[in-house]
């Protein structure tokens, strides 16, 4: 599926983007192993979270869809999951695979975790290595990728004090979830604090979790108590529109009820450092997470140097930030972002190639890129099946001189169902074309 984006010149109004992906996954996982019935509202019905939901249904967890974004999950308790009849297919979802590796490694049954071509290329040793040190028995391919074969461990897992070489919430969460089943105290240290949704939500489910700067720990043997979870709008989905309004002189757009967890707000800091006019208002708390409305007024951006701890607080927003850089005056330099190479695509390569195809001068570096802001011509670009690359490149149509055709966009469904309607509702001109169809 391709997008055809005609140049648009204004973006205006207000919008509530769908629920947070990270929080939606965790709500399903934690509710599934809790005692009692939990209700989730604002759930993201994107393919990634639906893969998590299907995985738990296949392991015997009663899940009821009360509406598109509302679920009731009858938890089966810490030891109530059952062996699924088939391998669990987690599609495109790295969060499902890595967190489930931690949660399922201690279980007394065998299970295989697999996924699509992108997911089965992504590095899994970052979770299998600490889990193996805890006593888990996990098979991978020779190069450490999925499918993952999880065998029942011969003895209960051992607690671990793990120093992760990468700031990764998926690694931290996998180790903590396995640690719930281990004897003793499991702790994780990381170079920067990654998103802390697991720590917050485990507390909401009654688990005692210690956490601080780059650190989280819990005692094994604790159980989860059912809780209701209200999911805020996903700042990672809002980010496309923050950039869209920021690069469009005269634009004014409000994003409603956006999750503002401080481990996720790097995109706001980065856009402000580029001169964007962003106002956060009506700050409140939703389900243990800070949220607020964000109003953006478009204007002129200037280049920035982006490096250090802000990178992990904006890691999923870089495709959109690349587009902001392409519209800014001067050369933006991005460093310390090698993690972008192992996301749903190699996002340094896909974004640099995409911007260059549109006439922007951009150079890939091993851990980032240099992007010289300037004119955006238009043309044909390839999203390489990466949802965030597709949506980011669509935003470039606000400054493009010619139409932009974006190939391979079907995976937008993984994180942002209704993206086209949302984008057109605030002023973009975006049509869906079937690849190879009459419009091709």
Q: Which residues bind ligand S3P (CB under 6 A)?
A: 22, 95, 168-170, 173, 194-195, 315-316, 339
CB of 339 to ligand S3P, least distance (A): 6
- Which CB sits closer to ligand S3P, 46 or 292? 46
| Shortest Å distance, C-beta 426 to ligand S3P | 24
Rounded to whole angstroms, how far apart are CA atoms 243 and 229? 29
Q: How far is the CB of 35 from ligand S3P (least distance, A)?
A: 24
β-strands 70-76, 88-89 pairing:
unpaired
Tokens (6 digits) for 437:
């169809």
Which residue lies nearer to ligand S3P by CB, 397 or 414? 414
Do the strands 379-382 and 404-407 form a parallel or antiparallel pair, or are they unpaired? parallel
For ligand S3P, the closer of residues 313 and 399 by Cβ is 313
Give, for 368, the enclosing helix (H) or strand (E): strand 368-372
How much is the CA Rg of the chain, to the nearest whole Å?
Answer: 21
- Is the separation of the CB atoms in 61 and 74 below 8 Å? yes
Cis peptide before 309 (omega within 30 of 0): no
Closest listed residue to residue 333, CA positions, set 345, 318, 347:
318
Nearer to ligand S3P, 2 or 289 (CB): 289
Pick the closer one to ligand S3P by CB: 128 or 170: 170
Which C-beta is closer to ligand S3P: that of 187 or that of 194?
A: 194
Shorter beta-carbon distance to ligand S3P: residue 128 or 248: 128
Let me know if 64 is exposed, middle or buried by CB neighbors in 10 A (0-12, 13-18, 19+): exposed
The neighbouring-strand residues paired with 14 are 254
Which ranges of 165-213 does DSSP label H, i.e. alpha helix? 169-180, 197-204
Cβ atoms 117, 94 nearer than 8 A:
no
In this complex, which beta carbon is closest to ligand S3P, that of residue 248 or of residue 414?
Answer: 414
Tokens 């391919």 found at: 141
Helix (H) or strand (E) holding 27: helix 21-32
CB of 90 to ligand S3P, least distance (A): 13
What token pair was written down for 354?
């995409």
Q: Which residue is nearest to ligand S3P (CB)?
A: 22
Distance, CA of 422 to CA of 242 (rounded, Å): 13
Q: CB 98 → ligand S3P: shortest distance, Å?
A: 7
Q: How far is it, in rounded angstroms, from Cα 97 to Cα 99?
A: 6
> Least CB distance from residue 252 to ligand S3P, whole Å?
29
Name the one residue in this structure whose structure tokens are 């998103």. Answer: 195
Distance of CA 236 to the CA centre of its chain: 7
Residue of 393, 244, 412, 233 lying closest to 319 (CA atoms): 393
Collect all residues with Cβ–Cβ distance below 8 Å to 437 and sequence separation of at least 6.
Answer: none
What's the min distance (Å) between Cβ of 344 and ligand S3P?
Answer: 8
Within a 10 A sphere around the Cβ of 251, how many other Cβ atoms? Answer: 22
Residue 194 C-beta: closest distance to ligand S3P, Å = 6
- Catalytic residue positions? 316
Which residues on neighbouring strands pair with residue 254, listed in sequence order?
Answer: 14, 295
């Amino acid at each position: 599926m391709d997008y055809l984006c005609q140049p648009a010149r204004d973006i205006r109004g207000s919008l509530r983007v769908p629920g947070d992906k990270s929080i939606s996954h965790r709500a399903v996982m934690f509710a599934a192993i809790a005692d009692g019935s939990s209700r989730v509202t604002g759930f993201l019905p994107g393919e990634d979270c639906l893969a998590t939901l299907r995985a738990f249904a296949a392991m015997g967890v009663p899940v009821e869809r009360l509406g598109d974004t509302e679920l009731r999950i009858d938890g089966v308790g810490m030891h109530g999951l059952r062996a699924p009849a088939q391998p669990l297919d987690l599609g495109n979802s790295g969060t499902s695979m890595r967190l489930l590796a931690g949660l399922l490694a201690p279980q007394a049954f065998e299970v295989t975790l697999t996924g699509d071509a992108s997911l089965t290329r992504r590095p899994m040793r970052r979770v299998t290595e600490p889990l193996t040190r805890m006593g888990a028995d996990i098979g991978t391919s020779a190069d450490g990728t999925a499918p993952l074969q999880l065998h029942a461990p011969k003895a209960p897992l051992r607690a671990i004090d793990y120093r992760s070489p990468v700031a990764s919430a998926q690694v931290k969460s996998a180790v903590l979830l396995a640690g719930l089943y281990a004897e003793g105290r499991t702790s994780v240290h990381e170079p920067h604090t990654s998103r802390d949704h697991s720590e917050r939500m485990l507390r909401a489910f009654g688990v005692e979790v210690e956490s601080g700067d780059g650190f989280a720990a819990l005692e094994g043997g604790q159980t989860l108590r059912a809780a209701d979870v209200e999911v805020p709008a996903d700042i990672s989905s809002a980010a496309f529109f923050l950039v869209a309004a920021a690069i469009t002189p005269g634009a004014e757009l409000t994003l409603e009820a956006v999750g503002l967890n401080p481990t996720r707000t790097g995109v706001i800091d980065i856009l402000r450092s580029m001169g964007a006019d962003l106002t956060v208002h009506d700050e409140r708390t939703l389900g243990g997470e800070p949220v607020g409305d964000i109003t953006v007024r478009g204007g002129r951006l200037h280049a920035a140097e982006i490096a250090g701890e802000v990178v992990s607080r904006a890691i999923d927003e870089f495709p959109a930030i690349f587009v902001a850089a392409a519209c800014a005056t001067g050369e933006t330099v991005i460093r310390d972002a090698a993690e972008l190479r192992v996301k749903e695509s190699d996002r340094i390569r896909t974004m640099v190639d995409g911007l260059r195809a549109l006439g922007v001068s951009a150079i890939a570096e091993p851990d980032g890129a240099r992007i010289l802001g300037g004119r955006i011509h238009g043309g044909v670009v390839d999203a390489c099946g990466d949802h965030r690359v597709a949506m980011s490149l669509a935003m470039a149509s606000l400054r493009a001189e010619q139409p932009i055709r974006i190939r391979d966009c079907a995976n937008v469904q993984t994180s942002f169902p209704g993206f086209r309607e949302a984008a057109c509702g605030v002023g973009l001109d975006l049509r869906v074309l079937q690849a190879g169809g009459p419009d091709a």
